[in-house]
Amino acid sequence: MIDGLIFDKDGTLFDFRISWGQWAAGFLAAVATGPDHAAALGHAIGFDAASLSFTPDSPVIAATATDIAAALAPHLPGETVARLTELIDETAGAAPMSEAVPLRPLLAALRARGLKLGVATNDSEAPARQHLAAHGITDCFDFIVGYDSGHGAKPGPGMCLAFAAALGLDPARVAMVGDSRHDLEAGRAAGMRTVAVLTGIAKQGDLAPHADVVLPDIGSLPDWLTGLQQ
């Protein structure tokens, strides 16, 4: 039986490639001194602007804004990690997100089952809330936190455990839903079930060893939940 679902944001609620490729290209062009410099910055964070693609180990995928800033800072003389983190948060909040599936009807259906819903992202909390608000789904969630909300970052279990504690849920009756190993490792460390989705960068073979189930996207959650009850 599942009483709650805690979702990653990027690559789970929102399609990662579509949403973040354009943001990365624009951000790097804005802070670079020219095209060659932008390409070097892209290499530092595992991003290719020509194809709008990310390498599997890119910090943009599952790390924090501070981690992205730390990777860029050595290539931007005069910029500090703190200032770059601020710039990333400022621009990321305005980045247009592409829904992995139509979100509001899905989230409404999950809530109609009596489930508590949360978001735990390695993005900062403020831009995460901006993204949810832009799609009119903030009210669908009982709990929203980022890496800077005081519970640590994934793959640590802090955000997952905070969700369970805040809603009075048994972690064993909660599922963590995400598109990266960081998400799944966080869920397992918290004693939760883990659900992998393929709307991020990672492949099924990368995620399957860390997940109880691998789904094409979160639109398959209702059928999975129904199967658990049979």
Question: Over the stretch 37-49, which tens digit does the pLDDT of each residue have?
Answer: 999 999 999 999 9
Which residues of the chain are under the pLDDT cut of 70? 230
Spell out the domains of the chain, with CATH numbers in brackets. 4-15+98-228 (3.40.50.1000), 17-93 (no CATH)
Note the pLDDT of residue 73: 96
Q: How far, in Å, CA of 191 to CA of 175, rounded?
A: 9
pLDDT value for 143: 98
Q: What is the pLDDT of residue 178?
A: 97
pLDDT, position 201 = 87
| 145-158 pLDDT, tens digit each | 999 999 999 999 99
For 204-216, what is each residue's pLDDT tens digit?
999 999 999 999 9
User: Under 8 Å CB-to-CB from 180, ≥6 apart: which residues?
Assistant: 8, 11, 61, 62, 200, 201, 202, 207
pLDDT of residue 17: 84
DSSP 46: T
Q: State residue 176's pLDDT score.
A: 98
Q: How close are the terminal C-alpha atoms of the chain, in Å?
A: 10
pLDDT at 230: 62
